[in-house]
Structure 1
Amino acid sequence: MKRLISTLCVSVTLMLAPSVQADLPDFTGLVKDTAPSVVNISTVQSAPSRGGLEFRTPDGEEIPEIFRHFFRIPEQFGDGGGQRKTPQSLGSGFVISSDGYILTNHHVIKGAEQVIVRLNDRRELEAEVVGSDERSDVALLKIDANNLPAVDIGDSSELEQGEWVLAIGSPFGFDHTVTSGIVSATGRALANENYVPFIQTDVAINPGNSGGPLFNLDGEVVGINSQIYTRSGGFMGLSFAIPIDVAMGVAEQLKSDGYVSRGWLGVVIQEVNKDLAESFGLDKPAGALVAKVLPNSPAEAAGFREGDIIQRFNGKPIVLSSDLPHQVGRLSPGSKVNVELVRSGETRRLKVELGLLPGTNEQARAESSGSVAPSGNRLNIVVADLTDEQKNKWNVRDGVVIQRVMSGAGSAAGLVSGDVITMLNGERVESAHQFASLVRDLPANRSVPMRIVRRGSPLFIPLRLSSKN
């Protein structure tokens, strides 16, 4: 009987195996068609000769442990003096037009004195950097060659979770290495990367893959492999690619202008969590909560207010706050856009003309001091009126500064000494006396929004009082 059962199990396995294998993609044809368009990129830079191994970028910055870009770290040994030219195989790229235009990552060619492109036929050509954009991490190169095999450009907006994708690059200098996986997520926002809705995959990516193409099963490029999340410095199953729609938009501007212009709204936003959604009377946590309207910005001119919750921008839904910068940054300065938002529980529509994104973000800087003034006992905090000097330092028009926080509703909400309270339950805070009145009139057993400025950053927090006493 055991032998019969064993025989039956083997038969079932053999019957199932072909059907399972039939569902798996065959990448051989795709690779043959697309690999000739993929190139290796190396650079020559001046680097100080030092003893020992240094984990730094070519311009001297230390590479962080997580979200590190895919540099091949050079072993820089020497006597500690002088400068020397250091050739480095940094990454990959791909041909987007037969007349020699190539896309790669900004960080691959950053600080390079000379960029060398090695083609699939082993030719090595010096490339001109047409333009490079740090915000999107996209660079456009040009080599003097014709009749090159160019990739087919796909539509990254059509990508879906679970879809098969394939990467070709030069990890650790091993040219034309092929790895595959699936799309893990789309529209991913990463720290300090506000203008790229990354494609997350589980494709094996390692140092040297940077700038290489991500293909769909139709052999079309849908992304540029750019970053990994790692604690070890190597692949850990989390890879991120720049959507090709974003990259081609950047490339077109780099080709025509040499730089990239982006739309600018002029608001500081934050995520809407469950408690904040309740405090603003929303059915569910969604949208981008405006924590600050920057002065002299398009948002100020259009009538935006702190506490507005942006839910649709240019006809597209804003589910996460990170969706908004992606949408704004892809539009050109001067674009006129319809915005749908919630203000004081009511839906409103505004029209805004986008400005030009400044080179550096405006940031408020603050510092708290002042004399103690009374506050309502319901929060169990002590606040002070702001002096003109403090308002200038904090870059706020009005509000009160917290001097002391005791155990109670205020501490439970996360308030700390030094916070500046500028708005409570939709009302601007103008003085300690008026703030006490606002606190006195707050409803019990319901979350209300409170806007504060903490260490220069504005944000909303939900505040709940359990009783009217």
Structure 2
Amino acid sequence: MRITTRLARFTWPAVGVVLLLVGLSPLAGHGREAQHLWQERAAGAAPIATVSAPNWIEIARAVKPAVVNVSVRGAAKAARGDGDELFREFGADRAPRRMLRGLGSGFVINADGYVLTNNHVVDGASEIKVKFADGRELAGKVIGRDPKTDLALLKVEAKGLPVIPLGDSARLEVGEPVMAIGNPFGLEQTVTTGIVSATGRTIGAGPYDDFVQTDASINPGNSGGPLVNVRGEVVGVNTAIASGTGGSVGIGFAIPAHLVKPIVTQLAESGHVVRGWLGVSIQPLTPDLAKTFGVGDTIGALVSSVADGSPAQRSGLKQGDVITRYDGRPLARWSDLPREVAETPVGREVPLEVLREGKRLTLSVKVAKLEEQGDKVASAEPAATRLGIAGRSLTPALAQELGVDTPRGVLVQQVEDGGRAQTAGITAGDVILEVDRKPVADVADLQQALKRHPAGTPLLVLVHREGQSLYLTVAA
């Protein structure tokens, strides 16, 4: 009775407050719903269907027998990205020349004993052991390696092995559930789940970056293990993580299966990968650059340099062209071009669609084979410019030291903090080659070019940096 009484005591005042608030509402008595600044349901959108959770138990049961532990003995070499505190391969910070064991993971792709893993897992190994889920441990032999994509194909002497099929990673959707399997910190057959966080990630690992990002927990030791979709198909090979500590923070990267397939085919056939070559340096087309070049959007790859004697030069491709289509396919992202060219058979003629000074052109290029293979500054009186830099005229001797093809230009020696040049991305050591599409021979040329430039408009600058040419726009 005491509880009932207390509830009754508080009920009536509460009702009174509600009635009072309703009575004071500015919309009370107007016979219409309150209008909000926000939207509470998608206009005209059908309700999102509810899907059942994946049966991870059955998926794990099906694929785990094909996941292996790759144990290595030998002197470990510094991994690609060694010293980079953000992006690191698993095992990258093990001590160099240390005898290692339990370094990574892998999975069987063919019942006759072919195992896929990461190149950095087996790089420098003198002995490789492949341990299966049933406890068997077999000697592994490297059939082929590709450092550019960090893939390695191993072979063990066995038949009838369980395999995991390679799926179609090109159809992956952000938000799609995935499972990572491997041997983090030597803990064999560890399964974690998550979703696809992003696709097409570029993390600076190489020219063919196209990673699948996932929040499935992956750690050192997961290298080379599979990232599996809900159909039990491999959609990626776990390779790298973004971490300040070396452990998982929910940002992992996997090589997509659609990139893996052509690489594995070549590794199985010849032990190495042959890639196509155009002979151009490219960069993304930013909104500022697109405006400067008179291009309507930022789709395509901006050509920042063309190598002498290259297929690109012979085809008529020029510095400043924007490649929009390659072999009939549009370039949705500028980074698609290196992969497209690399996968083109050597000797094949392909059409290139380019934009040049607002005009659309079609060129034909014969793809060639890609051959696998601290700046010094002499003392001189610096010349200040209105860009916010201190620079000096390039000499033939200095050009040779810096690897610049022409002995003309301005070497940037200092950049003013917060100045126009620094904001545009110009750094000390850059060589300014052109301003507003016109060559710059020396400091005097640069100063004259700056005086001629129309006030209030962005300045287009071509610089040479670390063996490559790069367009930058300097704000007015």
TM bucket normalised to smaller: 0.7 to 0.9
Deviation at 1:72, TM superposition (A): 8.9
Quote the Cα distance in structure 1 between the aligned partners of 2:149 and 2:370: 14
* 1:426 matched residue in structure 2: 437
Q: 1:308 to 1:365 in 2, by over 3 A?
A: farther
Higher-Rg member (1/2): 2
1:249 is paired with a residue whose SS is helix
Find the partner of 1:311 among 319, 324, 332.
324
Once the two structures are superposed, residues 272-328 of structure 1 have per-residue CA deviations (whole angstroms, 9 ceiling, x without a partner) of 222222222223333222222122222222222221222222233334432222222
Map of 1:59 onto structure 2: 77
Out of 14, 25, 35, the position equivalent to 2:64 is 35
**Alpha-carbon distance in 2 for matches of 1:94, 1:255:** 15
User: 1:410, CA displacement in angstroms?
Assistant: 6.2
Q: Is the 8 A contact 2:395 2:408 kept in 1?
A: no
Partners of 2:180 and 2:112 in 1: CA distance: 23
The share of aligned pairs that are identical, in percent, is 39
Q: Which runs of 5+ in 2 are unaligned?
A: 8-47
> Would the alpha carbon gap of residues 400 and 124 (structure 1) be closer, same or farther in structure 2, given more than 3 Å must change?
closer
- For 1:186-205, what aligned pairs fall within 5 Å after superposition? 186-205=199-218
Q: 1:260 to 1:280 in 2, by over 3 A?
A: same
User: For the structure 1 residues 26 and 358, does the alpha-carbon distance in structure 2 shift closer, same or farther, using more than 3 Å as the test?
Assistant: same
Structure 1 residue 411: Cα displacement = 7.2
Residues 410/238 of structure 1: CA separation in 2 closer, same or farther (3 Å cut)? closer
Preserved contact between residue 185 and residue 201 of structure 1 (Cα < 8 Å) = yes
| Alignment match, 1:170 | 183
Identify if the C-alpha distance between structure 1 residues 345 and 123 changes in structure 2 by more than 3 Å, giving closer, same or farther: same
Is the Cα–Cα contact under 8 Å of residues 323 and 353 in structure 2 kept in the other structure?
Answer: yes
- In 1, the alpha carbon distance for the partners of 2:147 and 2:392 equals 43
Per the normalisation by structure 1, the TM-score is 0.80
The equivalent of 2:268 in structure 1 is 255
The aligned amino acid for 1:123 is R
8 Å contact 1:72–1:208 — kept in the other structure? no
SS in 2 for 1:195: coil
Q: Relative to 1, partners in 2 of residues 1:382 and 1:114: Cα closer, same or farther, differing over 3 Å?
A: closer
- Establish whether residue 245 from structure 1 lines up as the match of residue 258 from structure 2: yes
Greater displacement, 20-29 / 160-169: 20-29
Amino acid at match of 1:97: N
Deviates more, 1:275-284 or 1:449-458: 449-458
Partner of 2:247: 234
Match of 2:372 in 1: 359
Distance 1:75 1:366 in 2: 32
2:291 maps to which residue? Answer: 278
- Structure 1 residues 339-354: aligned runs within 5 Å: 339-354=352-367
Q: Which moved more, 1:336-345 or 1:224-233?
A: 336-345
Residue deviations 1:92-138, cap 9 Å, x none?
A: 11111111111111111111111111112211110111111111111
SS across alignment from 1:108: helix
Q: Cα–Cα, structure 1 residues 417 and 369, in superposed 2: closer, same or farther, change >3 Å?
A: farther
The whole-number CA distance in structure 1 between the counterparts of 2:95 and 2:430 is 47
Which structure dedicates a bigger proportion of its chain to strand? 1
Q: Offset of 1:162 from its aligned partner? A: 1.2
Deviates more, 1:121-130 or 1:364-373: 364-373
Range with bigger deviation, 237-246 or 291-300: 291-300
Structure-2 separation of matches of 1:380 and 1:331: 44
Residue 458 of structure 1 corresponds to: 469
Q: Distance in 1 between matches of 2:215 and 2:230?
A: 16
Q: How far apart, CA to CA, are the structure 2 residues paired with 1:445 and 1:454?
A: 27
In structure 2, the CA distance between the partners of 1:233 and 1:20, relative to structure 1 (3 Å rule), is farther
Partner of 2:194, secondary structure, is: strand
How much has 1:439 moved relative to structure 2? 4.3
The 1:372–1:26 alpha-carbon spacing in structure 2 relative to 1, beyond 3 Å, is: closer
Amino acid at match of 1:28: I
- What's the counterpart of residue 25 of structure 2? none
- Shift in alpha-carbon separation, 1:258–1:241, aligned structure 2, 3 A: same
Higher mean displacement: 154-163 or 334-343: 334-343
Q: Is the 8 A contact 2:283 2:303 kept in 1?
A: yes
Cα distance, 1:37 vs structure 2:
1.3
Partners of 1:410 and 1:112 lie apart in 2 by 47
Deviation of residue 271 (structure 1)? Answer: 2.3
Contact persistence 1:383–1:400 (CA under 8 A): no
Kindly tell me: are residues 40 and 411 of structure 1, through their superposed partners in 2, closer, same or farther at Cα, counting changes over 3 Å? closer
Amino acid at match of 1:273: T
Q: Is 1:389 aligned with 2:397? A: yes
* Alignment RMSD: 3.4
Distance in 1, Cα, partners of 2:51 & 2:319: 56
